[in-house]
Amino acid sequence: MAVCSAYASPSLRTPCSIHPTGSTQHLIFFTGDPRRPPRRPPVSCSAESNTVVIGLAADSGCGKSTFMRRLTSVFGGAAAPPKGGNPDSNTLISNSTTVICLDDYHSLDRTGRKEQGVTALDPRANNFDLMYEQVKALKEGKPVEKPIYNHVTGLLDPPELIKPPKILVIEGLHPMFDARVRSLLDFSVYLDISNEVKFAWKIQRDMAERGHSLESIKASIEARKPDFNAYIDPQKQYADCVIEVLPTELIPDDNEGKVLRVRLVMKEGVKHFSPVYLFDEGSTISWIPCGRKLTCSYPGIKFFYGPDAYYDHEVSVLEMDGQFDRLDELIYVESHLSSLSTKFYGEVTQQMLKHADFPGSSNGTGLFQTVVGLKIRDLFEQIIAEKSAAPVEASKV
């Protein structure tokens, strides 16, 4: 039995227990005189739950797993699938974080989608009611039995038990699609990979690692496009932070897709989140760091920072075009960035060096994913500090 640590008064306890059937039952009992009415309304498990919910949206093959690995590393400890569970589980659990993949809320399996002529991106192939109920329950501190979509077989497998973590990340195609699910998010990120780059990455992975033909990759991207444009892409307007990945502007007519221009679009006015800035907050700056302190080979590196508008929202944008030759020299760039939410000087560089083998480590994708990971850690710590201060403040009243 998982007992909530939230007590309304010393005599009132609110435990959550998991039913043998797998459904969750909520019991309220009193340790004092059972005939006396409670002095305050009973507190449900939700009232003082500390689960912070982060949404990460992107199309398939756009770097969500890589981002997740960087994020969980910032919180410490390695992430692994639930022990002793389904070997094809999509869930990753570490000390503080649980990452659930929203593919698990596909309501139609591979055959079902084929029969009905819908893609996995189509809302009709997904169960948003269940997604909402379960994310809400986890946020409220209650365990859930979450379905599993098996990517190997294309079938829906028996559910797995997910316990409420400190940080719940919901990653996948639709974390910001349903307004109810969106309202549960404490912070949201959208990975916006331009078509050219998406194509280059798909070819690299699906041809080299999965043996697909160039034609089949092209066909699969084209087939997904209408639903991607209708249901996935529009979610970026709701994101607190967007990482845009575009072809470089440093090489005229580049079509190799190896050098990237990456833009970190950060919404202003988001609670517990202060955008990162270069040199001077709110000004507009172009910066070429190459020279004595940063080694750059062709085509060099260019940074940009400035205010902008994104879907009618005021944002700050930090942009990096080009790639690093030597990751240890990143400290020079880091020392010119502010509001990074690092715990010590050089933490961004240390994280980047630690995962130098991850895709995107030499360019803005790795740098900005790391920076967003640190900002999420800071947001989490602020929310927890606020929640633990709240009962003290309340008791003063």
103 binds ligand 5RP (CB under 6 A): yes
Q: Which is nearer to ligand ATP, 56 or 266 (CB)?
A: 56
- Looking up tokens 């000004």, which residue turns up? 283
Applying CB under 6 A, does 110 fall inside the site for ligand 5RP? yes
Residue 26 vs 110, nearer CB to ligand 5RP? 110
Residue type, 259: V
Q: Which is nearer to ligand 5RP, 236 or 261 (CB)?
A: 236
Q: Within 10 Å of residue 141's Cβ, how many Cβ atoms?
A: 22
Minimum CB distance to ligand 5RP, residue 57 (Å): 11
Tokens of 339: 């509001």
- Interface residue with ligand 5RP among 4, 16, 62, 120 (CB under 6 A) is 120
Number of residues that bind ligand ATP (CB under 6 A): 14
Report, in Å, the least distance between residue 136 CB and ligand ATP.
24
Quick one: which of 4, 6, 43, 62 contacts ligand ATP (CB under 6 A)? 62
In the list 159, 359, 381, 382, the residue contacting ligand ATP (rule: CB under 6 A) is 359
Residue 49 CA to residue 44 CA, distance in Å, equals: 9
The 10 Å CB-count burial string (b at 16+, else e) for 328-348 is: ebbbbbbeebebbbbeeeebb
362 binds, among ligand 5RP, ligand ATP, none (CB under 5 to 8 A by kind): none
**Could you tell which of ligand ATP, ligand 5RP, none binds residue 173, using a CB distance below 5 to 8 A set by kind?**
ligand 5RP
CA distances from 108 to 126, 135, 155 (A): 7, 20, 9
- Asked if 347 and 374 count as a contact pair (C-beta separation under 8 A), the reply is yes
Least distance CB 110 / ligand 5RP (angstroms): 4
Q: Give the nearest distance from C-beta 104 to ligand ATP in angstroms.
A: 13
Binding mask 351-380 for ligand 5RP (x = CB under 6 A): ------------------------------
Both tokens of 64, joined, read 């969500």
Distance in Å, CB of 71 to ligand ATP, minimum: 12
Smaller CB distance to ligand ATP: residue 4 or 102? Answer: 102
61 belongs to the binding site for ligand ATP (CB under 6 A) = yes
Taking the least distance from each CB to ligand 5RP, the nearer of 74 and 135 is 135
Report which secondary-structure segment, H or E, holds 3. Answer: strand 2-9
Secondary structure element (H or E) that encloses residue 369, with its range:
helix 364-396
Contact 71, 115 (CB under 8 A): no
Distance CA 292, CA 296 (A): 10
Binding partner selected for residue 58 from ligand ATP, ligand 5RP, none, CB under the kind-specific 5 to 8 Å limit: ligand ATP
Residue 332 C-beta: closest distance to ligand ATP, Å = 21
Question: Closest Cα partner for 374 from 273, 270, 239, 304?
Answer: 273
Residue of the chain from 42, 154, 159, 306 that contacts ligand 5RP (CB under 6 A): 154
Residue 205 binds ligand ATP, judged by CB under 6 A: yes
Nearest partner of 262 among 335, 367, 394, 137, judged by Cα:
367
204, two tokens? 């690299």
Q: What is the 3-state secondary structure (H, E, C) of 186-225?
A: CEEEEEEECHHHHHHHHHHHHHHCCCCCHHHHHHHHHHHH
Report, in angstroms and rounded to the nearest whole number, the Rg of the chain calculated over CA atoms. 23
Q: Does 360 bind ligand ATP (CB under 6 A)?
A: yes
Q: Interface with ligand ATP includes 323 (CB under 6 A)?
A: no
Site residues, ligand 5RP (CB under 6 A):
60, 103, 110, 120, 151, 154, 173
Binding site for ligand ATP (CB under 6 A): 58, 60-66, 201, 204-205, 359-360, 365
